[in-house]
């Protein structure tokens, strides 16, 4: 069902390399440039904006934040820490500052990680006005004493929050949601892996000849982006979305991970588990208590969309997470290619997964259709075993994922057998009430 994605890993890694230096945040130029980069590769992308201060359920669109420059200088030694070197150095949403401070005062505005002395931590303060620099523990230790010049030439003012949406229509109005976020600065697996895989999947879907489902692919700032989007589109989403995934943490080569929807058991959950079994990979199965991205909104009470997460090493479980160590070395072309394969497999399973009903009462006569060995010997029954087992559960109530489970067959094998049965006009599709 799936061709080997040879170059796709390199391609996605190259995109990530271009996007890496941009200073993404909930708002601002870095976010806009990121979305424009994606639109250049995928012109159907619709980039939208919403004004600061707009209400969205319990929340409000924040002010737009932009940074011209930001640095610290030790006035004695001339040592500097500069936002230009790594945009993680500046705490997200830092207010403008231009003053001389003592080391003691500076300490109140420095973040570092004592247990990871080479890592710059990723810190933000979206909803309380403050400023800070983030440095490695080693930088902090060696930054000397005395007085320091602090310059943050940032603006924090009424503007817009941007996000982008791609709708790829299919035969049916029923939709699959893919949601990824574009609000973290220079980090790789826990940021760019999502957008570059969403982009690659989008291009693959656009090239796919017949799509049963329509696809809604969102590139949004995390949390506030999904909350805003839900506030505007809930009714339509609840009507149409039959399964969805949050795309994040897809870039490393370590474990596979699965976080279920709030109550589990949705089509997205069933497809996720079938995909991981189909790929024959080991994986960590988390509970919804261990969630951490936009499924928090999509699965919240009253929203309750069937959204799960398929990941590699999950946020919060790897030490590079939310530090400068989650970089383009931690995220590899191979890891991205494997994750692309996982998401594509899920979509292929979804596209193929249907309810079928055998058209005969009693087993069909396979022999007259050339599907049965003409001479019945002691072992010939085994030859048609898969065929008859699949037929036995083509009862209009059991979808192909469940048939695959019951019959201990790969989904791919069930799909091949369904093709044979269709070719011989032995089954017909049954429209079941959607599971969502």
Residues found near a copy of itself in the complex (CB under 8 A): 57-59, 91, 111, 113, 121-128, 130, 132, 223, 226-227, 230-231, 234, 262, 288-289, 292, 296-297, 299-304, 316, 321-323, 357-358, 360-365, 367-368, 372, 374-378, 381, 385, 388-389, 391-396, 406-408
CA atoms within 13 A on the CB side of 223: 14
> How many residues are recorded in the chain?
436
Give the other-Cβ count within 10 Å of 54's Cβ: 13
Supply 209's token pair: 């000849």
Q: Measured between alpha carbons, how far is 231 from 354 in angstroms, rounded to an integer? A: 32
List, in sequence order, the alpha helices (H) in 42-168.
Answer: 103-107, 137-141
Q: Do residues 190 and 326 lie in contact, with contact meaning Cβ atoms separated by under 8 Å?
A: yes
Q: Measured from the CB atom, is 240 or 297 closer to a copy of itself?
A: 297
Local structure of 55: helix, strand or coil: strand
CB of 143 to a copy of itself, least distance (A): 20
Q: Do residues 411 and 272 lie in contact, with contact meaning Cβ atoms separated by under 8 Å?
A: no
CB of 296 to a copy of itself, least distance (A): 6
CB of 105 to a copy of itself, least distance (A): 17
Q: Measured from the CB atom, is 201 or 249 closer to a copy of itself?
A: 249
Supply 150's token pair: 């602090």
CB of 125 to a copy of itself, least distance (A): 5
Q: Measured from the CB atom, is 176 or 409 closer to a copy of itself?
A: 409
Q: Measured from the CB atom, is 112 or 202 closer to a copy of itself?
A: 112
Q: Measured from the CB atom, is 132 or 218 closer to a copy of itself?
A: 132
**DSSP letters along 278-321, please?**
HTT--EEE--GGG--STHHHHTSTTT---EEEEESS-TTSSTTT
Q: Measured from the CB atom, is 143 or 393 closer to a copy of itself?
A: 393
Q: Measured between alpha carbons, how far is 358 from 421 in angstroms, rounded to an integer? A: 9
Q: Measured from the CB atom, is 267 or 390 closer to a copy of itself?
A: 390
Q: Measured between alpha carbons, how far is 167 from 206 in angstroms, rounded to an integer? A: 10
Q: Measured from the CB atom, is 116 or 212 closer to a copy of itself?
A: 116
CB of 376 to a copy of itself, least distance (A): 5
CB of 346 to a copy of itself, least distance (A): 24
CB of 272 to a copy of itself, least distance (A): 19
Q: Measured from the CB atom, is 77 or 360 closer to a copy of itself?
A: 360
CB of 405 to a copy of itself, least distance (A): 12
Q: Measured between alpha carbons, how far is 224 from 93 in angstroms, rounded to an integer? A: 15
Q: Measured between alpha carbons, how far is 192 from 145 in angstroms, rounded to an integer? A: 37
CA-derived radius of gyration, the chain: 26
Q: Measured between alpha carbons, how far is 74 from 147 in angstroms, rounded to an integer? A: 6
CB of 271 to a copy of itself, least distance (A): 22
Q: Do residues 353 and 401 lie in contact, with contact meaning Cβ atoms separated by under 8 Å?
A: yes
């Amino acid at each position: 069902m799936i061709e080997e994605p040879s170059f796709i890993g390199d391609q996605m890694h190259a995109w990530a390399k271009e996007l890496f230096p941009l200073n993404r945040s909930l708002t601002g130029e870095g976010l806009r440039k990121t979305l424009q980069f994606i639109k250049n590769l995928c012109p159907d992308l619709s980039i939208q904006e919403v004004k600061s201060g707009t209400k969205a359920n319990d929340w409000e669109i924040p002010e737009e934040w932009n940074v011209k420059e930001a640095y610290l200088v030790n006035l004695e030694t001339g040592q500097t820490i500069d936002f230009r070197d790594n945009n993680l150095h500046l705490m997200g949403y830092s207010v403008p500052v231009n003053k001389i401070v003592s080391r003691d005062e500076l300490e109140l505005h420095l973040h570092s990680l004592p247990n990871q002395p080479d890592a710059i931590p990723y810190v933000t303060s979206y909803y309380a006005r403050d400023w800070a620099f983030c440095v490695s523990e080693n930088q902090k230790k060696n930054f000397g004493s005395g007085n320091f010049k602090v310059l943050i030439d940032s603006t924090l003012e009424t503007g817009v929050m941007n996000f982008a949406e791609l709708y790829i229509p299919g035969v049916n109005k029923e939709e699959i949601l893919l949601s990824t976020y574009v609000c973290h600065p220079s980090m790789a697996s826990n940021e760019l892996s999502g957008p570059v895989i969403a982009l690659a999947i989008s291009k693959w879907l656009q090239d796919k000849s017949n799509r049963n489902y329509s696809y809604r692919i969102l590139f949004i700032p995390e949390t506030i982006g999904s909350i805003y989007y839900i506030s505007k589109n809930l009714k339509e989403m609840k009507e149409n979305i039959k399964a969805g995934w949050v795309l994040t943490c897809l870039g490393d080569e370590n474990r596979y991970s699965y976080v279920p929807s709030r109550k589990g058991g949705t089509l997205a959950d069933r497809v996720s588990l079938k995909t991981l079994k189909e790929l024959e990979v080991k994986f960590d199965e988390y509970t919804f208590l261990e969630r951490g991205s936009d499924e928090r909104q999509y699965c919240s009470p009253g929203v309750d969309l069937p959204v799960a997460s398929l990941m590699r090493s999950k946020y919060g479980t790897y030490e590079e997470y939310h530090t400068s160590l989650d970089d383009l070395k931690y995220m590899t072309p191979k890891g991205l290619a494997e994750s692309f394969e996982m998401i594509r497999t899920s979509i292929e399973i979804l596209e193929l997964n249907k309810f079928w009903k055998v058209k005969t009462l009693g087993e069909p006569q396979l022999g007259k259709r050339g599907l049965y060995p003409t001479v019945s010997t002691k072992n010939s029954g085994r030859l048609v075993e898969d065929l008859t087992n699949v037929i036995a559960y083509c009862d209009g109530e059991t979808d192909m994922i469940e048939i695959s489970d019951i019959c201990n067959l790969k989904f791919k094998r069930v799909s091949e057998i369904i093709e044979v049965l269709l070719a011989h006009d032995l089954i017909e599709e049954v429209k079941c009430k959607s599971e969502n």
